[in-house]
Amino acid sequence: MQKQMRPITTLFMITSVDGKISTGATDNFDIDSDFPKIKGLREGLHQYYEIEQTTDLWSFNTGRVQAKLGVNKRKMPTKTPVSFVVLDNTHLKEHGVKYFCARSNKCVIITTNRKHPAFNIKADNLHIIYQKKLKLQDALTQLYTLGCKRLTIQSGGTINGLFLRDKLFDFIDIVVAPVLIGGKDTATLIDGVALKNKDSLSTLGILKLQSCEILKNSYLRLRYKVTR
């Protein structure tokens, strides 16, 4: 069997019981900022962040989510042992890229934008993966050559959908919050283009439960291996 020349991937996210990864349909809503304000959710939320600290030393994010969290305006952070991979075309500004360079062991920007601000920055730990058209498989192969053997994915529903359809998930690690959010336009764990013909059923992610942990304050942690 040919050796897999890409990182072993784990999708790690917090979700509501109905699969929502945001509290609403616009960037004004966010679990990180909204859950701490809600009685019944704030009490157990710390468990998600504690588990997050134990994930892989390579982390995959999107520029949209990071811009939403304010990296384009934050003070420069101290260095961490984590290497950050950010998929972005237009959301990160030069300050945001410099923020990740300062914070990361290695900072990798994946982009299809030839004029991305990252091209203007000189940093020893900055790597840019430029693609005319996004190809996640090829990007993961390049990450592997940079030393990324295991990768935690924390992107949005649309990008998660691309990982799913390209069969690039190996494990799923989900913290389920005790809440129902609803809303057809609210982001879910897996979004993207819906299946439209029966032949596409081959792209479904079939999972095998590895563990189910009951956390405090009615939170759950579900861990799966993707078998197909």
The CATH number covering residue 115 comes to 3.40.430.10
Burial class (CB in 10 A: 0-12, 13-18, 19+), 186: buried
Q: What is the pTM for the complete model shown?
A: 0.95
Is 1 contained in some domain?
A: no
Give 199's pLDDT tier (boundaries 50, 70, 90).
Answer: confident
pLDDT of residue 3: 60
Please give the residue range of the domain that contains residue 129: 8-226
Is 84 contained in some domain?
A: yes
Q: Report how many domains make up the chain.
A: 1
58-72 confidence digits (pLDDT tens): 999 999 999 999 999
Do residues 91 and 99 make contact, with C-beta atoms less than 8 angstroms apart?
Answer: no
Is 3 contained in some domain?
A: no
99-132 confidence digits (pLDDT tens): 999 999 999 999 999 999 999 999 999 999 999 9
Average pLDDT for residues 14-31, to the nearest whole number?
96
